């Protein structure tokens, strides 16, 4: 099975999915979500399939995130239900990956952001390379850390998850492993041989034969400062603590937070801290995104980054203190029509 967006086939004992939208860096759209969901549902009970393998046909990116242009058009047209329908299906796929009964091997080579993290970092075997660039930059476009990302960041060491979610800081492969978003470090030149071996054996344990010790993550030396700054009770507290630090990373973190959507920043902090389980994380994420096209900053964020590309978003509220508490409460209330229900395991 294949279309212009992905290729799905069986090779040996491997259910093999390749994302094939290189011109848009494999932006996740309905065709990708629907195709992966259908194939993985079929393979879950197929005794001929030992594992699932997911990669990209482009060295530049595994996936740079969701199809923001499509969401922008839905929002501009007032088609909020269409946007919500996509998010429901995408989040259910993220949960399916997290709870999949067979090994799920994701090749996180190149750019892996937003929706791309959702298709990879929930897997059982997550492979990064020296060319990996991993990030969750949603606050910079007026969204919330989503695709189950609040749960993933909740599990990062100390308060690293809050740092990554609020700033959208880009990670290399070693950083992603340190943050618990990846498992194995494999040099790009070895990927083809590894894939061939997986197809030959259907055994995910062979990954260790190709992996190497990653370089030391910069987060290791910054962890204590990150914990101090990002343990603040509110985003305001966090920015106050960052402003007392002179480290280059802290200055950049403060600048990134100040550029982000005040609505999204506060919702993201709350959601990461509450995400004790994937189900809680996705529930809160869906509550927010189900209202973001109508009440949040998402449309303006996409305009500034994707459409006009002026990178100068005009958020609804100028600062953190300007956001009405009633709006923040509304964004995190039970979604209209009920909270998103995930498939039974």
Task: Return the active site residues.
Answer: 66, 115, 138, 146
Burial class (CB in 10 A: 0-12, 13-18, 19+), 184: buried
Largest CA distance in the chain: 58
In DSSP terms, which residues pair with 135 in a beta bridge? 113
Q: Do 69 and 121 contact (CB within 8 A), yes or no?
A: no
Cα 290 to Cα 61, 80, 149, 332, 336, distances in angstroms: 28, 8, 16, 10, 8
Burial class (CB in 10 A: 0-12, 13-18, 19+), 338: exposed
* Rounded (5°) CA angle 280-282-284: 70
Q: Do 94 and 41 contact (CB within 8 A), yes or no?
A: no
Smallest Cα–Cα separation from 35: which of 53, 52, 17, 48?
17
Q: Do 19 and 5 contact (CB within 8 A), yes or no?
A: yes
Cα 197 to Cα 44, 187, 200, 204, 284, distances in angstroms: 21, 15, 5, 9, 40
Cα 213 to Cα 155, 185, 302, 328, distances in angstroms: 21, 7, 38, 43
Question: How are the residues of the chain apportioned to helix, strand and coil, as percentages rounded to the nearest 5?
Answer: 50, 10, 35
């Amino acid at each position: 099975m294949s279309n212009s967006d992905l290729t799905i086939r069986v090779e040996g004992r491997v259910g093999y999915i390749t994302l094939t939208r290189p011109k848009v860096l494999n932006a996740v759209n309905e065709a990708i979500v629907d195709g992966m969901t259908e194939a993985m549902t079929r393979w879950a009970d197929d005794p001929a399939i030992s594992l699932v393998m997911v990669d990209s046909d482009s060295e530049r990116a595994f996936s740079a995130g969701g199809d923001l242009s499509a969401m922008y058009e839905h929002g501009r047209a007032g088609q909020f239900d269409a946007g919500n329908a996509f998010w429901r299906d995408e989040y259910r796929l993220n949960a399916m990956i997290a709870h999949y009964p067979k090994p799920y091997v994701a090749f996180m080579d190149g750019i892996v952001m937003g929706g791309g993290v959702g298709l990879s970092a929930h897997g059982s075997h997550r492979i990064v390379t020296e060319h990996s660039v991993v990030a969750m930059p949603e606050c910079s476009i007026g969204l919330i850390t989503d695709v189950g990302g609040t749960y993933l960041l909740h599990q990062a060491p100390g308060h690293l998850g809050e740092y990554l979610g609020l700033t959208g800081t880009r990670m290399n492969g070693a950083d992603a492993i340190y943050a618990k978003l990846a498992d194995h470090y494999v040099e790009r030149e070895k990927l083809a041989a590894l894939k061939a071996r997986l197809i030959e054996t259907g055994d995910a344990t062979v990954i260790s034969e190709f992996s190497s010790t990653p370089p030391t993550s910069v987060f290791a030396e910054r962890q204590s400062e990150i914990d101090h700054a990002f343990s603040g009770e509110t985003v305001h507290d966090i920015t106050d603590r960052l402003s007392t630090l002179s480290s280059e990373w802290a200055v950049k973190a403060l600048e990134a937070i100040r550029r982000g959507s005040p609505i999204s920043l506060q919702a993201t902090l709350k959601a990461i801290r509450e995400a004790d389980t994937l189900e809680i994380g996705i529930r809160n994420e869906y509550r927010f995104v189900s209202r973001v096209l109508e009440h949040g900053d998402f449309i303006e964020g996409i305009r500034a980054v994707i459409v006009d590309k002026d990178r100068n978003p005009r958020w609804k509220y100028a600062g953190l203190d300007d956001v009405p508490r009633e709006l923040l409460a509304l964004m995190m209330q039970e979604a209209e029509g009920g909270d998103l229900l995930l498939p039974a395991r």
